[in-house]
Structure 1
Amino acid sequence: MTLDYRWLHDRVRHRFESDEALEAYLPQALTPDELKRLGDDRYLSAMSRRVFRAGMNHAVVDARWPAFEEAFWGFVPEKMVLLTPEQIEGHMQDERLIRHRTKLQTIPRNAQFILDLLQEQGGSFGEFIADWPSTDIIGLWRLLARRGARLGGRSAAGFLRLVGKDTFLLTSDVVARLVAAGIIERPPTSQRDQQRVQDAFNALQQASGRPLCQLSAMLSLSIHPRF
């Protein structure tokens, strides 16, 4: 089964007063050059913020993030990898932070992941993220889930969206549209179903020229209960 982009566009377009209003609503991804200019510290910060957002109100986490930036010295991986268990326990006493020990422990672990990857690949983490092809974004999700700490489930895609890497999100509305279109039968947890979703997005991208993040938003809008 396939999704027809023209049908999707026309269905979503009716929700907006003009083409300009639709375009203004849709998200934008960073360019590869912009992703490469982000420092490794910004990637570790976003990784950590995504970990803390999981299961929590995002606005609460975001409001406290300046305190995290201060407490963790700007999330420089070379510094964060040296965090000791005693320092983590010290942060558990900091009332400015969200005091979740298991999530705090992911900071040095994800710092090590970034440093290990840089040693293997060379360059910067931003270059690695920027160069990963959008036609296999699920492959990047899997790598992040496998090698990162607490980056499984929706967290890999959520992290990528935070840093501006083009990705789709498997929200309930997006999954509902994919099910309705016959692409999948249930939320795509298996590699086979995830590949079917990737193939569907690749076909929509080829037909439209739009980034994955915009196509994801359009799929969600197409089935939203207020549509």
Structure 2
Amino acid sequence: MTLDYRWLYDTVRKRFESDEAMEAFLPKALTPEELKQKSDDRYLSAMSQRVFQAGMQHSVVDAKWPAFEETFWGFAPEKMALLSPEQIEGHMKNDRIIRHLAKLQTIPQNAQFILDIRQEQGRSFGEFIADWPGTDIIGLWHLLGKRGARLGGRSAAGFLRLVGKDTFLLTSDVVARLKAAGIIDHDPTSQRDMQTVQEAFNALQQDSGRPLCQLSAMLSLSINPRF
């Protein structure tokens, strides 16, 4: 089965006073060129921020992040990959940051992941992310979850949303709409399920010309108006 974009648009549009209000509410993704211009320390910072957000109130993590930036020297991957276990342990005494050892240990691990991708690809991590096709965004999720530290589950998509890469999110509301439309009949967990979801988003994008992040938000709003 497929989702009808015209129905989706009309349903969501009713939640807003005007076309302009709806468009202003929907999220925006960065262009590939903008993603390429981001330095790789920004990608490591966002990865680390997403890791700490998992299971915590995002506002708490966000409020602490300037202290993280200062503590970890702006998250330069070349420096962070050299952090020793003893240095990480030492940061457990710093009450300006969130002292979670397992999450702190991901900083050098993900720094090395970024450096490995750079070496393999012969280009920046930002260029690698920017050039990945949205028609296979679940493939990027899979790579991040497999090779990154604590970037499985929803964290891969959450990280991509933080850096501005166009991606959909599988929130409970989005999944509920996909179920209601007959796209899936259970929560998507397997790669086969994910491919079915990807194909549904690809079809919606082809019909609408909208980025994945906006289609994701519209699916969510069709279930939960949030007003």
* TM-score interval (norm. to shorter): over 0.9
Cα offset, 1:225, TM superposition: 6.2
Specify the alignment match of 1:99 in structure 2. 99
Cα offset, 1:187, TM superposition: 1.3
User: Taking structure 2 as the reference length, what is the TM-score of the superposition?
Assistant: 0.99
Q: Distance in 1 between matches of 2:207 and 2:112?
A: 40
> Residue 82 of structure 1 aligns to a residue in which SS?
coil
Number of equivalenced pairs? 227
Q: Distance in 2 between matches of 1:91 and 1:186?
A: 42
Q: Distance in 2 between matches of 1:78 and 1:180?
A: 47
**Structure 1 vs Structure 2: percent identity of aligned residues?**
81
User: Taking structure 1 as the reference length, what is the TM-score of the superposition?
Assistant: 0.99
> Residue 92 of structure 1 aligns to a residue in which SS?
helix
1:1-20 pair list within 5 angstroms: 1-20=1-20
**1:102-161 deviation line (CA, Å, top 9, x unaligned):** 000000000000001111001100100000000000000000000000000000000000
Amino acid at match of 1:66: P
Specify the alignment match of 1:139 in structure 2. 139
Amino acid at match of 2:199: D
Specify the alignment match of 2:164 in structure 1. 164
Q: Distance in 1 between matches of 2:31 and 2:215?
A: 17
Specify the alignment match of 2:179 in structure 1. 179
Specify the alignment match of 1:194 in structure 2. 194
Specify the alignment match of 2:124 in structure 1. 124
Gaps of 5+ in 1: none
Alpha-carbon contact 2:15-2:225 (below 8 Å) kept: no
Q: 1:209 to 1:100 in 2, by over 3 A?
A: same
Q: Distance in 2 between matches of 1:186 and 1:21?
A: 33
Kindly indicate whether residue 73 of structure 2 is the aligned counterpart of residue 73 of structure 1. yes
Specify the alignment match of 2:210 in structure 1. 210
Q: Distance in 2 between matches of 1:182 and 1:194?
A: 14
**1:142-184 deviation line (CA, Å, top 9, x unaligned):** 0000000000000000000000000000000000000000111
Q: Distance in 2 between matches of 1:54 and 1:132?
A: 24
Q: Distance in 1 between matches of 2:82 and 2:125?
A: 19
**1:19-55 deviation line (CA, Å, top 9, x unaligned):** 0000000000000000000000000000000000000
> Residue 56 of structure 1 aligns to a residue in which SS?
coil
